[in-house]
Every structure is written in C-alpha cells, then in structure tokens.
Amino acid sequence: MLRTASAVDVVIVGAGPAGLAAARHLTGAGVSVAVLEASPEIGGRSVTDHLDGFRLDHCGRPLAVSAAELRRTPGLGELTPRPFAPGLSVHNGQRVQRISAPRSTRGALSAARALVRADRRTERRTARQAARQTGRLPDRRAEQDADRRTVRRLDRRTGRAAPSYAAPPAAPAPAVDRPIRDALASRPAFPPRAHDAFLRPLLGALLCDPQLRGSSRGAAAALRGYAEGQLWLPAGGAFAVPELLAAALPPGTVRTSVRVTAVSTTGVHTAEHGPVPCRAVLVATGARDAAELLPGLRVPAFHPVAVLHHTAAASGGRGAPSRDTALILPTDGPVAYTYAAGAIDASRTPPGRALLTTVVLGAAAGLPPAVLDRAVRPQLDRIHGPQPRELLTTHHDPYAVPAMPAPHDPERPVRVLAGLYVCGDHRDTGTLQGALNSGRRAARAILQDFGLPALTTEPDTLPAAA
C-alpha cells in the first residue's frame, strides 16, 4: 500500500493543471490530498522538453487568461508572463498586415457582442415559428407593459413585489448556442473589416478549431478574454504552470509512475501499490482516461494539433530571424499561427539562437513530421523571410484540445456522486483557464460535501456529472 496516501482525505488521479489546482485549493482548506500520476512526470499536456538548451512546448497555444484569473489559483502568483506585442499580424499570403491593439480589441469585443445578438435573434425567430404553428402569437408589447407594471410595484423597503394579478415576468431563456460559422454568417451583425481581416484566423487560433464548428458562446467568451487580457507565454515554458502548482503543495503530495486502475467513493486501486483508501476521489485526467475510470462519462471529439519548433542563427542582417513578437495569423496555407518564441521569451533559447514556433491544426496536423515540415517551410519563408532553418522537433497530439460543439455547457458538472468527482478542460472550456476553473469547481464541490467552507460563490446545488 502507498504509505504516504494511506490516510488521506482525497485522492486525485492525474497531475495536470486541473488536478494540481484542485489539490492546491484543497490543501489550502486543510484537507489532506494525494495526487497520483501514471506518467513519470507531472504536467499532463503542459509539458516542456529540454533539448540542447532549448525549451520546447508540446502545446504551442498562447495564453489569453488575465493575471487576475491566474491569481484565483493559489501558487500561480509567481508565474512570470512573457507578453506578445500588442495587436496582431495577419499574413494574406503576400505580406503582413499589422492590426493595432485598439483595433483588434474593438473588433474582438464587437464580434463577441454580435455573436450573442445573433444567437438571441435565432432564439426569437424560433419562438415565433413555434407560436405560429400553435396559433398563439405572442403580444410582445403587452408582455413588456406587464413587466414594467410589475417592476413599478416593487416595494423599495423590502424588495418584494406588491400583490398583483399580473403574471410575473418569466426569466429570460439563455440564448441559442450555434456553430460559430453559422453565427458569423449572420450579416450585417459583423463589421466587414474586422470580420474579414482577422476574426476568423484569431478564433481558429484561440479555440484550435480551424473549421469554426464549435460553440458560438465559447467563441464569444474567448474573444472577450482576448480583449480584456493580453496574449502571453509562461516564462520558461508551459511546464512552469504545473511546476509552480506542485511546488506549492506539501512534500510528498504528488506521486508519479502510479497508475490507477479503478476508482470508487472510498478509494482507488493502483497497479503498483494495490488499494488506497480515502474519503473522496477526484479524477483529473484527460477525457479519454477519465471515461475508462468512470464508465458512462461522455468523451468529446478533439481538435488535433501539431507543433513545429525551428531554429536559426540569431545574428542580424538580411535573412535573419524575425524579431516581431506579435502573433502572426496566416489567412491560408497549413499554418494556423506562428510566432518568434525565442524573441518573446529569451529563456527558451541558448545564446545566439532563435526559436520559431509554428502550429498546424486540422487534418494537416496528422501528416508525418517530415512531410509536414516540407509543407510549412515555403509558408514560413513568405512570412518570416527566407533563411536556413533547422527543425528541432515536431509534436503531434490528436487529442490536444477537447471540442466544444454547440450547444456547449462551459461549466459541466464535476460531481459524479457524493465522494466521486471529475475535472479537466473537458468539463469546462478547452483551455488552460478552463482546466484551472474546473479544478477549482471540483475542490469546491468536495469541500461542500465535507461540510467545509466553500471556495467561491457558485450555486450551492451542484448537479451530477454525465
């Protein structure tokens, strides 16, 4: 039996950002925790390889989470962000068009609002069609007048409505969630310049969804996050996030190379150490592994991602690597986005070398590494200028990002039943922020079931996971 975990309150299966965030919340509330990770290293998909002085991320996604959101997770206060240059660069196949920070911010916010409005128009249109079929056309003016009369009857001292025969106003139904590409087709909601110039490639980069088949609500949230924050990379690589979370835990909390084969409300069974008893179990693995431990859990579709890291000499002059630190969004070709990672975060490169990170999405991400490298090189030459580049590594993950098809619930339940919980980006949004949010929600649910003070102001009633 695993001695360090023989008398813990909670066993967390998986040491990615979601599981480690939940562990940090729980230990901060005085709950004893054991985190069991099947791999030799922690981090999940937030892995950074070290190669000849380079730090190469497996997932090359820029982060759009704000510093305030990060501080909601204890242990990440020391994370150092390395920001991209403000604004965006869009490459149309021939030249780079610079999108200023004010313009990109205004365009993202305008598009986010338009997505919500488009969904609401669809909802109202659907309601009117249903009313016509039933022969009951709603009198919208009468309904609005009744609502206004009810509001005027509110007692200012008690906040309660005075007696009335008028029906109380119904709570507004949530807007209809649609595929992003359908919502984008709802003209004239979107300003043509912002829509055509950078909105589609930006959404593809933020969501890793090049076909834009995902949730329009998720797209609106991603655009608001981009507008309210700033794109950045963690200093030292993506592994800095799980590393800081694990370092803030009590010694011995995290155990690697321990494979959990079964879970229940009273403990887990491991291949190496047999049963490990506890009061509650939190499954914080990826969606596919979680479904193996929790039969019946829905497994989403995934967006495949391929990340290529190239290097070149960092000397100046004609043909030298680009020092532009903006995110570059091509409008065609296999490259979804590319950036000078070494110029943004100097700790990722050895002296005298440049590091260029390129991300390919969709079907092209599954090409063999040599074929993919040959496919992206001409496009990189057009974007960054022709120069001799050495391919350091290619990392392909067919299950990199959980898809968010419409309708999508950004806060899927984390409680399977009392004593058994699940978290991860597949229970929230397919981003680092989504993983951290789900870990916090799972920790809150556990504390609630233990009768301990809650972490947040979320509703007290938490539904069961499915």
pLDDT of residue 287: 96
Q: Which residues of the chain have pLDDT under 70?
A: 1-6, 67-69, 118-175, 186-196, 315-322, 455-466
Structure tokens at 38: 């099947």
Say how far apart CA 133 and CA 140 lie, in whole Å: 17
How far, in Å, CA of 372 to CA of 18, rounded? 31
Task: For tokens 């025969």, name the residue.
Answer: 165
pLDDT of residue 171: 47
Q: What is the DSSP string of 291-313?
A: HHHSTTPPPPPEEEEEEEEEEEE
* pLDDT (0 to 100) of residue 65: 75
**Distance separating alpha carbons of residues 186 and 113, to the nearest angstrom:** 13
Q: Nearest CA to 390 among 305, 314, 304, 306? A: 314
- Residue type for position 80: T
Angle between helices 240-247 and 17-28 in degrees, nearest 10: 20
End-to-end CA distance of the chain: 31
| Identity at 170, one-letter amino acid code | A
Q: What does the pLDDT look like over 167-177, one tens digit per residue?
A: 444 444 455 78
Asked if residue 310 lies in contact with residue 358, where contact means CB atoms within 8 angstroms, the answer is yes
* Helical segments of 154-215, H only: 180-184, 192-194, 200-207
What pLDDT is recorded for position 19?
97
- The C-alpha atoms of residue 235 and residue 244 are separated, in whole angstroms, by 12
Q: How far apart are CA 144 and CA 137, in angstroms?
A: 15
Closest by CA to 455, choosing from 1, 22, 19, 7, is: 22
Burial class (CB within 10 angstroms; exposed 0-12, middle 13-18, buried 19+) of 242: buried
Q: What is the helix (H) or strand (E) element at residue 233, kind and residue range?
A: strand 232-234
**Which residue, 401, 399, 434, 440, is CA-closest to 282?**
440
The pLDDT value recorded for residue 304 is: 97
Pairing of strands 254-255, 33-36: parallel
Counting every residue written for the chain, the total comes to 466
The three-point CA angle 272-274-277 to 5° equals 130
Distance between CA atoms of residues 198 and 200, nearest Å:
6
DSSP string, 335-348: EEEEE-HHHH-GGG
| Three-state DSSP state, 354 | strand
CB atoms within 10 A of CB 274: 11
User: What pLDDT does residue 145 have?
Assistant: 55
Given a contact cutoff of 8 angstroms between Cβ atoms, the answer to whether 211 and 181 are in contact is yes
Find, among 455, 443, 453, 450, the residue nearest to 21 by Cα: 443
Q: What is the pLDDT of residues 378-407, one digit of tens each?
A: 999 999 989 899 999 999 999 999 999 999
CA distance 252 to 44: 19
Report how far residue 316's alpha carbon sits from residue 19's, in angstroms, rounded to the nearest whole number.
44
pLDDT confidence of residue 459: 38
CA distances from residue 94 to 90, 320, 329 in whole angstroms, order as listed: 10, 19, 13
